[in-house]
A = this chain, B = another copy of it.
Amino acid sequence: MRCDIIIDRDVEVADGDKSFFIPVSSSSDGETKIDTHRTKVQWKRKSVVTFALTVLTSSQAILIVWSKRAGKYEYSVTTANFLVETLKCAISLVALARAWMTEGVTENNRLTTTLDEVIVYPIPAALYLVKNLLQYYIFAYVDAPGYQILKNFNIISTGVLYRIILKKKLSEIQWAAFVLLTAGCTTAQLNSNSDHVLQTPVQGWVMAIVMALLSGFAGVYTEAIIKKRPARNINVQNFWLYIFGMGFNVVAILVQDFDAVVNKGFFHGYSFITFLMILNHALSGIAVSMVMKYADNIVKVYSTSVAMLLTAIVSVFLFGFHLSLAFFLGTIVVSVSIYLHSAGKMQR
């Protein structure tokens, strides 16, 4: 199954140093060899980051189940989010330092930037902030399991915005596959209370759709930013994305948890699992960036959908969960969707 996901469209180049990414067609045998080698390297890198994202996302959900079993969240979520962003920044800097030592400081890996480059970087962080704020209000209209089901609108919104904003085409078969991915993921999540979601008031539906559009837009916009300079070192791009993420989370701490942090301390209520979750979120975040750089949002959506199914399967062994008939049916539909996504590509 993994194979089907990672065979995806090539990195498209908007501008900048194209020679590094586009295999240049050439009549000389030597250069053709280099092209084949480059395509292989690209394919391998795409596979590795997609695989990493799938494993990290699925272990993320398992950590959440584990921490819920261990007791309620007692730490403040805003401080944890701030630490995630800080850790991502630190990891990017370490990776950059290694690059400077091997390659030296170049135009593409230097940390300094221009206003022109950096001005769009706060936008995804701001969009996610708005989406997360809305999340508090949607629970007035939908319960948590219902929200899990409505979140599948994200899949469709990502596909639509990917088409509109990045102007990349999906074949008709691939669109059919995307509709199936949405239906399959939702089916896999069905339980005896799922029908409640059909009683969601109009405000709930509207908010769910707005949140899906915000989240889809943030994802697609991040891809646009990262792909705009393909030769730019991904760690520099990540550093600037995460710096703004840190900034927004400082604001969130001040607004939401200022009293708790001052009275009980920054690390109040942290446990070993909390630190594991922060580490996992940081690595997942970096994996998402890598998938945006070397693959795209469509691969990301397939990867996280497969992760959702993997989580359920692993939970059978870890927590003695029972899989429902709906889960099996959803898994069949998602598997066919993955097949159709790659089959639809070949027939374009």
Report the separation of the CA atoms of residues A347 and B346 in the bound assembly, to the nearest whole angstrom: 11
**Are B347 and A187 in touch, CB under 8 angstroms?**
no
A160 proximal to B (CB < 8 A): no
A224 proximal to B (CB < 8 A): no
Query: Interface residues of A: mostly helix, strand, loop or mixed?
Result: helix
Q: Which residues of B contact A324 (CB under 8 A)?
A: 195, 198
Report the separation of the CA atoms of residues A19 and B194 in the bound assembly, to the nearest whole angstrom: 56
Tell me the nearest residue of chain B to A191, going by C-beta.
Answer: B192
Which of the 9-residue segments A93-101, A228-236, A335-343 touches chain B?
A335-343
Copy number in this complex? Answer: 2
Chain A, residues 159-203, CB within 8 Å of chain B (1/0): the string is 000000000000011001001100110110010101101100000
Q: Which residues of B contact A186 (CB under 8 A)?
A: 325, 329
Tell me the nearest residue of chain B to A327, going by C-beta.
Answer: B195
A260 proximal to B (CB < 8 A): no
Q: Which residues of B contact A180 (CB under 8 A)?
A: 180, 333, 336
**Are A336 and B190 in touch, CB under 8 angstroms?**
no
Report the separation of the CA atoms of residues A179 and B335 in the bound assembly, to the nearest whole angstrom: 10
Q: Which residues of B contact A336 (CB under 8 A)?
A: 176, 179-180, 183
Report the separation of the CA atoms of residues A319 and B170 in the bound assembly, to the nearest whole angstrom: 42
A149 proximal to B (CB < 8 A): yes
**Are B340 and A176 in touch, CB under 8 angstroms?**
yes
Report the separation of the CA atoms of residues A190 and B173 in the bound assembly, to the nearest whole angstrom: 27
**Are B192 and A190 in touch, CB under 8 angstroms?**
no
A41 proximal to B (CB < 8 A): no
Closest CB-CB distance, A3 to chain B, in whole Å? 16
Can you list 19 contacts pairing A with B, beta carbon distance less than 8 Å? A172-B343, A173-B343, A176-B336, A176-B343, A179-B336, A180-B180, A183-B329, A183-B336, A184-B333, A186-B329, A187-B187, A187-B326, A187-B330, A187-B333, A190-B329, A194-B325, A197-B325, A326-B326, A333-B333
Q: Which 6 A-B pairs have the closest CB atoms?
A: A192-B192, A183-B332, A187-B329, A183-B329, A176-B336, A194-B325
List 9 additional A-B contacts (Cβ < 8 Å) besides A179-B332, A190-B329, A333-B333.
A173-B173, A180-B333, A184-B333, A186-B329, A187-B330, A187-B333, A190-B326, A195-B324, A195-B325
